[in-house]
Each structure stands twice: as structure tokens, then as C-alpha cells.
Amino acid sequence: MRVAFDNITITPKNYIGMPMAGYTRPDPCLGKLDDIFAYGILLEASNKDIVNKYLLLISLDLLKIPMSIADYIKLKIKKLFDFLSPEQILIHCTHTHSAPDLTGEFQFPGGIFNAIKGIMFGMNRNDKYVVYFVDKIVKMVQKLFDKLIPCKMAWMKTPFNPDIVINRRHPSRRSTPELGVITFRRFDNNEMIGFIINYACHPTTLPGENNKISAEYPGRIINNINELTNNTIEAVYFNGPSADLNPITTCGTNYNELENAGKEGRKKMYGQSGTYDDTQRIGNIIAKKALKMAQSIKSEEYYQELEFIAEVRHYWIPFKDYKYFTPAWSQNKLSFIIKKYLILPVTKILSENANFPAFIIKRKPFRFHCYSIIQYVRLRLKSNKAENKLSILTVPGELFEDLGKILFKKSPTGKEDTFIFQNANDWIAYLFSPREYIEIGGYEPVASFSPKCGEYTIKEVLNLFDEVKNQ
């Protein structure tokens, strides 16, 4: 087994005046707090055949990436390395809310109505930037193949929340996301090469008032690890199921009071006014814990041989509503009608001429389906004394905490040996349960392509898990 790490800045050259993704800001980009990067990890398996020999993982400091751009990245990589199939390339976005807009929905600064205008008429006006950062990613991949070195691999997960994360819809849960690391050491001298960090929290320490580019707390995690190790150990961050998990900056930690405060409590959690000090503080807390975990794994827990199978499952999501009547019905139904009879018909007509549309939509008269993918990688590892399996699952959007728990529980390799990377290969918005939509409603269902995005995604993943278990 061999591994290589590398990264490259993808900060736009002319970022001043660019529309920024993540919030309906009153102004475009006005500056930069820190650079945004593309990170790459290349794994070479132990088998001799070129098929399923290489696994390429890419993490981008961007809000989201539609499938059309992800496919464009894979196509550009495949032109140089034709032995790589799309299944062997995983592309993920950390979901920083302080990065350039790629889809056009934030093209027009202002409030929610300008965001709707952007979805319908904005399209993508940043094609030059897309071409620019994809070319840089390809150069990074070339370097990865040149840097491969023999290694061994191990991983660890532990619950971790020292009052830095809150479930903004259910604060009294006292959510405790798991912090996971996948570590790599040199085969010859046992020195640590680098590690993957997997945690679950929205990169929103900076509020909507921020108009400066930043990789957010995931970028500060990497920066802190560089400082703590004198740039001797590489690190890459992949975000986990964090659709309803926010960083705690100004809302406080009186969880029950926030829950009982109703609208005022939600306002405090959704509208926090953090600063760059919060970004650095939370990044530093996670970095120190992740590095300590990576360094604590014993030599006998590492594996020297790797084989893997990577597959992509394609599926269609219908734009349908549920049949119900609850206090949330009127708001949900109004949003559904506006999207079905106004936003989606117009967007579909315009997106046929756009270079990088936000969604891949199939249309019949007032019937819409969104096309997306899930990716699943099964790794089999061996050492002189033991054998183990590890799963890496991706979902094309922001996965609610409760749905993430279902997938961890049902995974063929079990909770401790499963890593979930959200916002990967595509983005179809929030992935929530029917209960969250029908009984509670709220912002997240309004922002999603379909109320059934979560249900259909979970169904596809569980069908895939059943197939794997029966093999």
C-alpha cells in the first residue's frame, strides 16, 4: 500500500466583487480572511491489477459542488490518468459559507427574494473560475502520483463535543458528534505521513455579515495542525452529517432554555454573530484533539495491505409532497407550490443553456425528478496479525444528524468502522426525515429540492448496504 498527500490554493485571483455562497448577503466579496484550498489524498492498493488500484479523495474549501462540476473535474483528471474510473474519484466540499458562488443562486446580493431570482435567472457566471481551479486540481493530482510512498493505515473514532456544536433544531439533545481520524504512517520508519479528519459541524462560525473569503474552521484545523507539527504531518478535513449541527459562538450553552424559547431560541441559534476569533478557537480545539487521537493509535493497530471496491449508485428523486396536515403544513405547502409551479419550470428552461446548472432535472409537464448519486467505498485491510474492513460513504447534500445515525447503525462494517462524507459529488440540499418536515418544517425543508430528498437517499443507501451484506 502507498499514499500521497498534497494541497493547492484555489482562492480566486480577482475575488473582490465576486458573489459569495452560503448566505443572502447584501454585498459581494470585499476581502479575504484566509485562503481556500483543494486537498488531495491518493491511495494505491496492494493488488497488482490497475483496476481498483488507485483511490483518489479530494476535499474542496467550497460551499457545495453540483454534479456537473464534479463530473467536469473527474473528466479532466481522467484525460491524464485514463485508468481512473469515476468510481475511484471522490470529490467533497467542506461546506464553508465564505467561498465563491458556483451555481449562480447567490448572483444577486440581497435578501431571500434575490436568492430566488438567482436560482431562476442567475445561472453560473463563474465559469472562468471553475476552469481555473479545476486546472489547479489536475496539477495537484499529477503531484500526488509522483509523491506516493509505502505506508500503513489505521483509524479511530470517539464522541467529541466540548460545547462547540449544537443541534439548532433540537438543542436539548446535547448532540455529541463523533470525531474520526484515518491515519497513515511510513512503512519503513513508522513516521506519521498524514491523516484524514472527519467531524460533523456546519462551517458557519462566521455570520452572514461576513463578506470575506475564508475556509472557515476546517481551514483553521489544517493550519493549526501545520503549526503543531512544524509542517511535518499532512491533514485533510471531510465534513460528516452536519445539516442541523451549528458551531456555538454567541447562542450560549443553555440548551434547554434555547429549546423552550421557541422562535427566539431558534433565532439565537440560526443567527449567531461569531467572529474570526471563534473560527480560530473552534478550529484549534478540533485540531488538537484530532492530532492527539492520530498520534495515540498503537503500531499494532496499523494495517499494511489494502484492497478496495468503489461503486457509485445513481438514483432519481421525485419532486413530491407528503400527505398530511400539521401546523407546519401551510408553510411547507406554500413553498412546495412556489417551487413546483414557478421556480422549477423557469429554472429548467434556463438551465438547459447553462454550463453548470445547479441540479440535473428531468421534466414532464409539472412533474420533476432530480438525478444524483451516492458513492460507497469498501476497504479491506490486512496486517501480519489481523484483518479488518472500513467503509467510506458519501451523500449528495447536507445530512441531518438523525439520518446519519441510521446509516452508521446499518452500515455493513458497523458504526466504528464507517465514515460518512456529506456534500460529495453533488448537492441536492438538505437530507431530512419525513418527521422533521411534516411535524416541524422550518428553513431546511424550504431550501431543499424536494421534501423527499432524504427519504430517497436513505432508501438507496440501505438497499446498497443490503446488497453488500448479501454478497
Range of the domain at 458: 306-390+436-470
Q: How far is CA 292 from CA 181, 424, 456, in A?
A: 10, 27, 38
How buried is 8 (Cβ within 10 angstroms: 0-12 exposed, 13-18 middle, 19+ buried)? middle
How many domains would you assign to the chain?
1
On whether the CB atoms of residues 97 and 216 are closer than 8 A, the answer is yes
Residue 296 covered by a domain: no
CA–CA separation, 335 and 318 (whole Å): 16
CA–CA separation, 254 and 171 (whole Å): 9
Q: What is the pLDDT of residue 103?
A: 84
Residue 319 covered by a domain: yes
Q: Which residues of the chain have pLDDT under 70?
A: 48, 50-51, 113, 120-125, 347-357, 364-366
On whether the CB atoms of residues 126 and 18 are closer than 8 A, the answer is yes
Beta strands in 98-142 (DSSP E): none
Cell 455562497, residue located = 21
Cell numbers for 429, please give them: 440540499
What Rg, from alpha-carbon coordinates, does the chain have? 21
Cell numbers for 288, please give them: 488538537
Per-residue pLDDT tens for 297-339? 999 999 999 999 999 999 999 999 999 999 999 999 999 998 8
CA–CA separation, 390 and 328 (whole Å): 40
Residue 263 covered by a domain: no
Residue 466 covered by a domain: yes
Crossing angle of the two packed helices 67-80 and 127-147, in degrees rounded to 10: 40
Three-state DSSP state, 278: helix
Tell me the one-letter amino acid at 458: I
Q: How far is CA 183 from CA 109, 295, 340, 418, in A?
A: 42, 9, 46, 14
Q: What is the pTM of this model?
A: 0.95
Residue 334 covered by a domain: yes
- Give the helix/strand (H/E) hosting 136: helix 127-147
On whether the CB atoms of residues 225 and 181 are closer than 8 A, the answer is no
CA–CA separation, 63 and 3 (whole Å): 27
CA 38 vs. chain centroid, Å, equals 13
Residue 449 covered by a domain: yes
Residue 167 covered by a domain: no
Residue 289 covered by a domain: no
